[in-house]
């Protein structure tokens, strides 16, 4: 689907959604809250408050965001979840749970528990000194108690039930853990490791369901082998996507889709959509000019050369592109704001059933 057609479909989907709910232009959002879990793809600043290497609270991160300030988002501007919140009618974004902004009425529109460097594999979080999904779940229980005190038990229960829960994880499990550790990839095949991750995913969804969550939007793995970091660390001197890593990502995506289908059969009232972000991002990489991009193999923001520094934007980097909207990737593992917008539009179309 080209850019024009994609925008038309998104407009029609949203027009129908607003009309069917009888919403005026300035009415409340289509859902009461957005609650997010996962890794750097959805972290909006929790890692700012951790002793970890994986931080994005310094320039040039955030240079195209509101007030051109870094917030902890691993991007030059908005994340996919920010665009999703905009599209659903939110005027502000759910705060990072560990931030000073996570108080009082700010919590009524949700909270973000994600932590860069986290993953479905608990060891990924340990390696990166990130908040594990298990710990994110503990914070969520704490959030529920705060919400009940703020809004009362009846309203808080309604918010919990009708909120959209976004889960974005798995990339770090492969790039920062499995492929980086011979002790893992020599013992488990990618398919075996995928099965372990999907088992963790299923358990996580069941735990959230037990706490009242009903509507889930879960991102698939992107084409990890096309990330600049993967090209540099695991490819042929950066030439072309690393096919074996893309195949592993697709194996995982197939398994997580199957798991989601089984969960919906097991758990009454559960709605879960696995957002396919592999295809739209792969299309951007393969045909960037079709979507208005110029560069899809290198990142806008310069990186280091060691395994530890290649993943992120180097604060003292001499090379940062003048126009990030021309680049598919902002740093070596995260899309630019412009690419996130394309992915977010695709997610809105796929996730219409959750609205």
Residue found by looking up tokens 């069941």 in the block? 206
Query: Active site includes 345?
Result: no
Within-domain flag for 199: yes
Give me the domain span that covers residue 232: 33-277
Residue 318's beta-bridge partner residues? none
Set 259, 334, 336, 345: catalytic member: 334
Per-residue pLDDT of the chain (355 residues; tens, 9 = 90+): 555 555 554 554 555 555 455 554 557 899 999 999 999 999 999 999 999 999 999 999 999 999 999 999 999 999 999 999 999 999 999 999 999 999 999 999 999 999 999 999 999 999 999 999 999 999 999 999 999 999 999 999 999 999 999 999 999 999 999 999 999 999 999 999 999 999 999 999 999 999 999 999 999 999 999 999 999 899 875 568 999 999 999 999 999 999 999 999 999 999 999 999 999 999 999 999 999 999 999 999 976 555 555 788 877 755 789 999 999 999 999 999 999 999 999 998 898 888 7
How much is the pTM? 0.92
Set 220, 331, 332, 345: catalytic member: 331
Within-domain flag for 64: yes
Using CA atoms, how far apart are residues 93 and 78, in angstroms rounded to an integer? 11
How many structural domains does the chain have?
Answer: 1
CA 177 to chain centre: 18
Sequence-distant (6+) residues with CB within 8 A of 244 are: 190, 225
Closest CA to 119 of 192, 172, 174, 82: 172
Within-domain flag for 147: yes
Query: Active site includes 173?
Result: no
Set 36, 39, 40, 202: catalytic member: 40
DSSP E strands in the chain: the ranges are 34-38, 110-112, 164-168, 215-219, 271-275, 295-299, 327-329
Within-domain flag for 214: yes
Within-domain flag for 48: yes
For the purposes of burial, counting CB atoms within 10 Å of the CB of 338, is it exposed (0-12), middle (13-18) or buried (19 or more)?
buried
Other beta carbons within 10 angstroms of residue 116's beta carbon come to: 31
Query: Active site includes 2?
Result: no
Sequence-distant (6+) residues with CB within 8 A of 241 are: 223, 225, 226, 230, 231, 235, 285
Using CA atoms, how far apart are residues 214 and 219, in angstroms rounded to an integer? 16
Within-domain flag for 9: no
Within-domain flag for 344: no
Within-domain flag for 114: yes
Write the CA distances from 193 to 201, 205, 226, 252, integer angstroms: 12, 19, 20, 9
């Amino acid at each position: 689907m080209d850019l024009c057609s994609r925008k038309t479909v998104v407009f029609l989907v949203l027009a129908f959604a607003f009309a069917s709910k009888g919403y005026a232009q300035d009415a409340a959002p289509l859902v009461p809250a957005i609650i997010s879990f996962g890794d750097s793809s959805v972290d909006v600043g929790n890692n700012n408050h951790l002793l970890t290497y994986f931080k994005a609270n310094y320039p040039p991160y955030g240079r195209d965001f509101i007030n051109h300030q870094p917030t902890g988002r691993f991007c030059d501007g908005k994340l996919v979840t920010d665009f999703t919140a905009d599209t659903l009618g939110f005027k502000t974004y759910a705060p990072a749970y560990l931030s000073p902004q996570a108080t009082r009425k700010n919590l009524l529109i949700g909270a973000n528990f994600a932590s860069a460097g986290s993953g479905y594999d608990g060891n990924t979080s340990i390696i990166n000194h990130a908040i594990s999904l298990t710990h994110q779940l503990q914070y969520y229980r704490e959030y529920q108690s705060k919400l009940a005190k703020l809004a009362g038990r009846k309203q808080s229960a309604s918010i919990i039930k009708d909120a959209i829960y976004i889960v974005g994880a798995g990339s770090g499990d492969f790039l920062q853990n499995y492929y980086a550790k011979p002790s893992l990839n020599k013992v488990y095949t990618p398919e075996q490791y995928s099965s372990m991750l999907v088992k963790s995913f299923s358990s996580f969804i069941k735990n959230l369901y037990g706490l009242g969550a009903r509507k889930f939007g879960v991102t698939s793995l992107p084409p990890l082998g096309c990330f600049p970091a993967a090209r540099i660390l695991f490819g042929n001197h950066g030439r072309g996507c690393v096919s074996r890593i893309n195949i592993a990502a697709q194996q995982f995506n197939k398994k997580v889709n199957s798991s989601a289908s089984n969960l919906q059969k097991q758990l009454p009232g559960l709605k879960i959509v696995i957002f396919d972000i592999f295809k739209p991002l792969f299309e951007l990489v393969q045909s960037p000019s079709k979507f208005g991009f110029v560069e899809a193999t290198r990142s806008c923001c310069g990186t280091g050369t060691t395994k530890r520094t290649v993943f992120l934007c180097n604060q003292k980097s001499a090379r940062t592109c003048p126009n990030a909207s021309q680049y598919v990737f902002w740093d070596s593992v995260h899309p630019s704001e412009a690419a996130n917008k394309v992915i977010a539009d695709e997610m809105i179309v796929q996730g219409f059933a959750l609205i």
